[in-house]
Amino acid sequence: MITDAQIERWLREDVGHHDVTNQVPGETTGELVAKEAGTVAGLEAAAAVFAFIGATVTDRLEAGTRVDTGDELLAVEGEARDVLRGERVAVNLAGHASGIATRTNRAVAEARTESDDVRIAATRKTTPGLRGLEKRAVVAGGGDTHRLDLSHMVMVKDNHIAEMGLEGAVEHFRERASFATKLDVEVETVEDVPRAAEAGADIVLLDNMSPAETREAVSLLAEYEGVLAEASGGITLETVADYAAVGVDVISMGSLTHSAPSLDLSFRTASD
């Protein structure tokens, strides 16, 4: 959900205290157009920006829609000053989100060449203040949000294990977590996979393992009913299919959010 407070911060940052650039008289219409093919997202945020500033959005595509060069994503009308003031923030948000959706869609497509069931998930490697936008963009691209924040799931990571040991860390967090909260336990070696499962992991995160090591880990986890296998760490668009082929349940990729280039969009106006 995009709040008025967020939009106000975004616009204050861009408009500043004395905007001469957009002191344009009259009414106008405008359209957001794709300059390259991709999967769109973030249009609800772009529309909210225009609505906040006083312009009217007359049409917009649904998140997850595939577009080609030249396709219209969103149309707006109103005072020229308002439309122009909202333009750059709206374009930046939609371009950033659409880039994430496009990258996610590519990752899902690559994984589907090997598995119809594996989930392609994001991580918490998001931009502060934009996590909601970025996580929704992942969903628009066909991916899974993974946990939205620290309260959604306990991840027992290397630093926790260094402090308390693997079994000790799992026990520590299991005692403190709700029955509804899953534990995702990170391991770095195949040998630690059974230890994590036996300690009580709901999900075993196979960190920075090769596809061959991941296959061996998945085979070991088959003995533990209901425990999911998650591959993570340095997985790219070029290698995601290799991990999908070895039978993991989830592939989490930080690059979906931290390395996705913005989709190239353009905003054009036409005065009445």
Mean predicted confidence (pLDDT) in 19-27: 79
Number of domains in the chain: 2
Distance CA 172, CA 158 (A): 15
Select which of 157, 182, 195, 215 is catalytic. Answer: 157
Do residue 75 and residue 125 come from a single domain? no
Same domain assignment for residues 131 and 63: no
Same domain, 239 and 267: no
Active site includes 117?
no
Task: Please give the Cα distance from 158 to 115 (Å, whole number).
Answer: 29
Pair (104, 170) in one structural domain = no
- 35 in active site: no
Q: 215 and 164, same structural domain?
A: yes
131 is an active site residue: no
First to last CA, the chain: 33
Measured distance CA(100)–CA(144) in Å, rounded: 12
pLDDT value, residue 15: 82
Q: Is 125 a catalytic residue?
A: yes
Instruction: Report whether pLDDT(3) > 80.
Output: yes
Kindly state whether residues 103 and 118 are assigned to the same domain.
no
> Minimal CA–CA distance to 49: which of 96, 100, 103?
96
Whether the model clears a pTM of 0.85, i.e. scores above it, the answer is yes
Q: Which amino acid is at 36?
A: E
pLDDT digits (tens, 9 = 90+) for 176-226: 999 999 999 999 999 999 999 999 999 999 999 999 999 999 999 999 999
Question: Catalytic site residue 88?
Answer: yes
Which of these is catalytic: 77, 87, 192, 207? 207
Average the pLDDT over 164-174 and give the result. 96
Range of the domain at 201: 114-258
Catalytic residue among 66, 88, 124, 195: 88
Q: Do 72 and 137 reside in the same domain of the chain? A: no
Q: Given this model, what pLDDT does residue 13 score?
A: 86
CATH of the domain at 235: 3.20.20.70
Q: Are residues 184 and 222 in the same domain?
A: yes
Say if residue 136 is in the same domain as residue 31. Answer: no
104 and 139 assigned to the same domain:
no
pLDDT recorded at residue 271: 58
Q: Are 137 and 41 in contact (CB under 8 A)?
A: yes
* Nearest to 105, CA basis, from 218, 267, 253, 226: 253
Give the C-alpha separation, 106 to 102, whole Å: 6
Q: Does residue 66 share a domain with residue 185?
A: no
Which tens digits make up the pLDDT trace of 137-161?
Answer: 999 999 999 999 999 999 999 999 9
Average of per-residue pLDDT values in the chain: 95
Residues 90 and 215 in one domain: no
State the catalytic residue, choosing from 87, 186, 230, 249.
186
Quickly state the pLDDT bin for 81 (edges 50, 70, 90): confident
Catalytic hit among 125, 174, 182, 195: 125
- CA atoms in the 13 A half-sphere facing the CB of 272: 10
